[in-house]
Structure 1
């Protein structure tokens, strides 16, 4: 029968089935018209209990868009094993709409039948012969704390580029070594770097991986009860190097991006000529308020004087706004332009109550031509003159000021 191996029949609780199909459907091709139609389907694999994907499971829900493959194990009572391909987003929507009780699922001819209480849906099966083989999970190389990894990705991924013409800039650079993991991303206008500990399970785990930022971000924001994420890596796969991330049985396998990532280390200064310390939440709130009157591409002007900064937006022809924020600063007057969205991304990533902005240029007139580095006050980062080297473990966010007459 096209689209199935075996008759397939199983029962599953609606909530867990909805969670798995919804999660897998998020990884289906975003532009289905540009991809083979088979990839718009969700693959359901039901196995007998002894041969299930993991103890207590019995069902796998899988998706693949040629770049990213995902597998979600689901606790299900399998009466007859089988394998079918079903229109993915339609199935996810159907399961989400069902009453919160047991769902009976079975193949009937060329259709999948779902019964839940008095509700019955039938869905046409897709031709399984057109579905490619999913990549295997790469050999595990170590584990990382789930919350720590999610926090680091959340800090770094927003700085990745969105211009697909330079694919490597849409990636998070993952530097893997026995000492820890370093995540870095840049879109040329800003740079975010964070180092975190991990637990390697192989000798000499040194490697570099350019991982699509949107995939890492999706993994990081997916709720899970797992305290650790397993990392797998295969740089020798003939079909393309792949990274695997697994938590609570769910697997995400992504093809890595080729390309040369910028040498970001030479951009990060060890010291700053001047530093400004502000309450993180207060500064972010002020930026949001003042930016209300700014046009979409217009920067905000920040004028730093002793113990205060004035944020301003608008010009003489339209609405204007300004706000004065208290800060710790004792240097000369500095006036710089920042993209408010980029600045807010950096402030949102600071985990401390106070944020420090370090200005590299010793000459105030050069402040607009040299980068500023944002970090938490107590998490290391750029020091003042004579303050020592940069702490590798600190979150650092380098932001280029906007020169007059230009826009980021």
Structure 2
């Protein structure tokens, strides 16, 4: 294998792919800790890494596309057995075809620290030689023959606006669980329908739901995907100049259900999580009886300050009364804090306990300057144990964050 490419281009591709390289552990195949580099000459027929359904979808002449996607002679890939990542490097000039696996994080670190110049790479089955300016590296390779076959991008089902998708994931993903023994709760549930794309996450203590518009590319796209929340959040927050994200879903040749995201030619393919997701719709109240409107930034700042004196697992008490809410923490002879925040509220006095971190996650997710906290009942005795609905004043029904108060008896 031999190719040349500018340092920044190669650093971007290897750095992106290395994010998906598993850390070396006793149970990890050594070859999976490497990055797979595949180079083809322009006269060669494109292999799976160069031509996929997603590449064809992104190269279509539909909305948001400029025309056919360019074919690449170099592809950088990673695979941990669950998640596959594939990055084409279209700017690379390939003079000798080949396939090699190199320790992933080491390669990314080396390339990132090279001089700002053209990088020339030559590799054999035993080693890779990297030259850039006066710098020269020689890195032993891993057994390319042992590297597993990467899954193909699933059949495309539609496209979604990049910024809108990233914002929706940022609103919903924090509510996902972190307990791997309940794997399905660590997912963001994607409900794919003709009328919209709904993202849902819950850890049983809070629930976040967001619906956004999208553009299906198939008829009747009714499907559900449980995508690992950490992966989805990671993909969504990576900077990109692409205006659209291509989505794919389907069963591969081995019967595994996979979900794919393609952004600017880069593909992330993940095995979907299995399990029964809670029937969240029955938890969403059809109506609420009391609402509190607060300046989002002011309330969030007060919660952060008061929470400083609370123990890690202790809730904050919020006392709502006409025109104000008082946040309180601490008791007995220990540190205590309280802060009054002006709000729009005219109902009876309510005293509710909230997990401050969960409340802050909800406030961070609302859009606009004002947050609305809605209580499903006006009865002060039962309001403290019934879920509240947090939304932004401009969110409408598109985003809802359901938060369970902490019962007084368990505080």
Normalised to the residue count of structure 1, the TM-score between the two structures is 0.92
Q: Superposition pairs for residues 27-46 of structure 1, below 5 Å?
A: 27-30=20-23, 32-46=25-39
Within the candidate set 41, 48, 58, 2:73 is matched to: 58
User: Where in structure 1 do 4 or more consecutive aligned residues deviate above 4 Å?
Assistant: none
CA contact (8 A) 2:163 2:243 kept: yes
Q: Distance in 2 between matches of 1:143 and 1:73?
A: 20
Identify the range of structure 1 (297-306 vs 106-115) with the bigger mean alpha-carbon deviation.
106-115
Corresponding residue number in structure 2 for 1:4? none
**Residue 183 of structure 2 corresponds to which residue in structure 1?**
167
Q: Are residue 68 (structure 1) and residue 83 (structure 2) matched?
A: yes
- Alpha-carbon distance, 1:203 to partner: 0.6
2:100 alignment partner in structure 1? 84
1:48 equivalent in alignment to 2:41: yes
Q: 1:31 Cα shift?
A: 5.5
Residue 402 (structure 2) pairs with residue 398 (structure 1): yes
How far does the alpha carbon of each residue in 1:229-280 deviate from its partner, in whole angstroms, 9 at most, with x for none?
1111104653410001001000000000111100001101121111000011
DSSP 3-state at the match of 1:29: coil
Residues 302, 310 of structure 1: 8 Å contact kept: yes
1:155 aligns to what? Answer: 171
* Equivalent runs, 1:3-402 vs 2, <5 Å: 8-30=1-23, 32-51=25-44, 53=50, 55=70, 57-74=72-89, 75-108=91-124, 110-235=126-251, 237-380=253-396, 391=397, 394-402=398-406
Aligned-partner Cα distance in 2 for 1:108–1:41: 15
Shift in Å, 1:50: 4.7
CA RMSD of aligned residues (A): 1.4
Distance 2:81 2:30 in 1: 12
How far apart are 1:403 and its partner, in Å?
A: 1.2
| 1:37 to partner: Cα distance | 1.3
Distance apart, 1:405 and its partner CA: 4.4
State the shift of 1:47 in Å.
1.4
Distance 2:38 2:110 in 1: 18
What CA distance in whole angstroms lies between the structure 2 residues aligned with 1:196 and 1:395? 9
What corresponds to 2:60 in structure 1?
none
Within 1, Cα distance between the matches of 2:174 and 2:135?
A: 43
Which residue of the partner structure matches residue 58 of structure 2? none
Shift of 1:295: 1.2
Q: What is the alpha-carbon distance in structure 2 between the residues aligned to residue 376 and residue 338 of structure 1? A: 18
Contact 2:366/2:395 (<8 A) preserved: no
User: SS where residue 401 of structure 1 aligns?
Assistant: coil
Q: Give the Cα separation in 2 of the matches to 1:335 and 1:306.
A: 13
Shift of 1:36: 1.3
Gaps of 5+ in 1: 1-7, 381-390
**SS of equivalent to 1:149:** helix
Separation in 2 of the partners of 1:365 and 1:34? 53
Structure 1 residues 208, 109: closer, same or farther in 2, change over 3 A?
closer
- Cα deviation, residue 108, structure 1: 4.8
Question: How far off its partner does 1:59 sit?
Answer: 1.1
Query: Aligned-pair distance for 1:153?
Result: 0.4
Q: 1:32–1:40: 8 Å Cα contact kept in structure 2?
A: no
Instruction: Report the alpha carbon displacement of residue 131 of structure 1 after superposing the two structures with TM.
Output: 0.9
How big is each residue's C-alpha offset from its partner over 1:154-206, in whole Å with a ceiling of 9 and x where there is no partner? Answer: 00001000000010000011000111100000000000000001100111110
- Spell out, residue by residue over 1:328-378, the C-alpha distance to the aligned partner (whole angstroms, 9 max, x if none): 000000111111111111000001110000011231111221001100113
Moved more, 49-58 or 270-279: 49-58
Q: What is the CA–CA distance in structure 2 between the aligned matches of 1:221 and 1:346, rounded to whole Å?
A: 18
SS at match of 2:291: strand
- Take 2:129 and 2:409, find their aligned partners in 1: how far apart are those partners? 62
